[in-house]
């Protein structure tokens, strides 16, 4: 791994918090992700399942975590099963976790090789009544592809049909939404790397530069700062491309007079950052571009103030919509007739601002969290309003990552990244 070691007390605390949620006489199982094949003998780079990482810090394929708080034998209350390493594996693939290294990483004392799993697991299952299985219940999840976790659940229910099966997902959504201090530090590191990337590309952007060249500069800066790359597929969108919300082709030239919308973020130690900045390709905003930019910036600042404990996200998005409506009226993009004719289901501002303002962020870019529960301190969110005027080929979005505080406004993890018009123009020139 490129990132520096993480203090194992984070994972010890995470497991403690999770264990306290389980019913008596229960165990929970978490599996690594697969290494996914492409074709022939090629594979995609390994990406760890965020839940097993959150609870153990293990960032390796073919790993299983078992948590059994009531185990009669103390050594079986937390168990890691790992792929057994060998000299051959070390030569061809590189070193894997040893039992000693796994303890240093996770704080888990009991480590078995994966070949021992079925025997040890069978002995544990003789004593438990409930099994907590880990299913992907993210509201935007695509679950068409069968995962290693899915295969385990299928196998387990076949082998042990008389047990009661329960879901870990609700607890993981609750726990992962509240960030621990070490997690906030890791997210800050990811944001700091993103800042270095932005400051690298601002002087580089000029008419004639290709969108993919900007993407390449960012990747260079991320890799040289211990990130494995982008936290998500980057959007480098100039001109009318900025009005395509999920534009990822990044293959067009940047033209004089256009605005370039860039939505990207570095990951660090599996934690994500998510930044958007919209900048003039020629280094200077036109008067109208300034007006739209400042309108978006105003909405962003007002939206950030609303992210306080006790707020419901549905109400938050409604309030942000009212702030945006006011700005669109000021710009002349909406008029009183538009407001009069709007419906609750389709407010007028959605013509120019059609997406949400905030989402949870952390180990996933769209992180776990309960959208129906009030906001709590130490939850982390993006704030990303935008205005998109398709007929003018103009799209402006601004986005930072913030952590909700017990009192006052959220802490902005990207507060040192240029965002004001003067700052952007100074860096570009």
| Each residue's pLDDT tens digit, 372-396 | 999 999 999 999 999 999 999 999 9
Say yes or no to pLDDT of 197 above 90.
yes
Distance CA 381, CA 404 (A): 8
Q: Say what the pLDDT of residue 87 is.
A: 76
Q: Coil, helix or strand for 276?
A: strand
Q: How confident is the model at residue 248 (pLDDT cuts 50, 70, 90)?
A: very high
Contact in structure between 266 and 291 (CB atoms under 8 Å): no
Residue 86 above 80 pLDDT?
no
pLDDT above 80 for 401: yes
Q: How far is CA 117 from each of CA 20, 39, 109, 114, rounded to the nearest angstrom?
A: 24, 30, 16, 5
pLDDT the model gives residue 93: 79
pLDDT beyond 90 at 345: no
Domains and CATH numbers, the chain: 9-176 (3.40.350.10), 181-428 (3.90.230.10)
Does 155 have pLDDT greater than 80?
A: yes
Q: What are phi and psi of 80, to 5 degrees?
A: -110, 135
C-alpha–C-alpha distance, residues 4 and 183, integer Å:
13
Of 30, 54, 179, give the one whose Cα is nearest residue 106.
54
Average pLDDT, the chain: 96
Would you say 419 and 411 are in contact if contact means Cβ atoms under 8 Å apart? Answer: no
Q: For 102-126, write each residue's pLDDT tens digit.
A: 999 999 999 999 999 999 999 999 9
Cα separation, 282 vs 327, whole angstroms = 26
Q: How far apart are CA 148 and CA 35, in angstroms?
A: 10
Predicted confidence (pLDDT) per residue in 44-74, tens digit? 999 999 999 999 999 999 999 999 999 999 9
CA distance 382 to 125: 42
Nearest to 367 by CA among 276, 233, 263, 270: 270
- Residue 288 to residue 36: CA distance in whole angstroms: 47
Q: What is the pLDDT of residue 35?
A: 93
* Count of C-beta atoms within a 10 Å radius of residue 94: 8
What residue spans of 134-253 are helical by DSSP H?
A: 148-159, 169-177, 181-201, 211-223
């Amino acid at each position: 791994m490129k990132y520096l070691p993480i203090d194992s007390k984070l994972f010890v605390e995470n497991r403690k918090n999770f264990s306290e949620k389980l019913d008596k006489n229960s165990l929970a199982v978490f599996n690594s992700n697969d290494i996914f094949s492409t074709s022939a003998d090629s594979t995609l780079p390994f990406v760890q399942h965020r839940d097993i990482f959150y609870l153990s810090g293990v960032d390796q394929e073919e790993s299983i975590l078992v948590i059994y708080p009531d185990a009669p034998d103390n050594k079986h209350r937390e168990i890691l099963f790992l792929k057994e390493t060998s000299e051959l594996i070390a030569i061809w693939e590189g070193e894997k976790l040893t039992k000693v290294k796994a303890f240093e990483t996770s704080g888990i004392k009991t480590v078995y090789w994966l070949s021992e799993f079925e025997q040890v697991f069978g002995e544990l299952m003789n004593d438990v009544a409930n099994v907590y299985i880990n299913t992907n219940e993210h509201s935007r999840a695509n679950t068409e592809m069968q995962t290693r976790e899915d295969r385990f659940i299928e196998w387990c229910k076949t082998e042990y049909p008389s047990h009661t099966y329960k879901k870990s997902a609700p607890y993981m959504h609750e726990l992962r939404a509240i960030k621990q201090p070490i997690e906030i530090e890791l997210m800050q590191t990811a944001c700091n790397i993103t800042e270095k990337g932005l400051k690298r590309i601002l002087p580089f952007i000029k008419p004639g530069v290709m969108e993919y060249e900007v993407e390449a500069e960012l990747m260079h800066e991320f890799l040289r700062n211990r990130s494995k790359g982008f936290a998500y597929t980057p959007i480098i969108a100039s001109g009318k491309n900025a009005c395509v919300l999920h534009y990822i082709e990044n293959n067009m030239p940047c033209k004089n007079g256009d605005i370039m919308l860039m939505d990207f973020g570095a990951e660090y130690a599996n934690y994500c950052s998510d930044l958007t900045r919209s900048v003039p390709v020629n280094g200077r905003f036109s008067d109208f571009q300034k007006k739209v930019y400042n309108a978006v910036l105003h909405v962003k600042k007002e939206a950030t103030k609303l992210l306080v404990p006790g707020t419901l996200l549905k109400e938050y998005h409604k309030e942000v919509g009212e702030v945006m409506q006011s700005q669109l009226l000021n710009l002349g993009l909406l008029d009183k007739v538009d407001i009069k004719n709007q419906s609750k289901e389709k407010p007028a501002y959605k013509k120019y601002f059609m997406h949400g303002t905030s989402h949870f962020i952390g180990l996933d870019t769209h992180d776990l969290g309960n959208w129906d529960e009030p906001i709590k301190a130490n939850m982390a969110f993006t704030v990303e309003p935008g205005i998109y005027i398709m007929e003018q080929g103009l799209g402006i979005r601004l986005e930072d990552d913030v952590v909700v505080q017990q009192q006052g406004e959220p802490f902005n993890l990207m507060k040192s990244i240029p965002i004001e018009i003067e700052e952007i123009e100074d860096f570009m020139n």
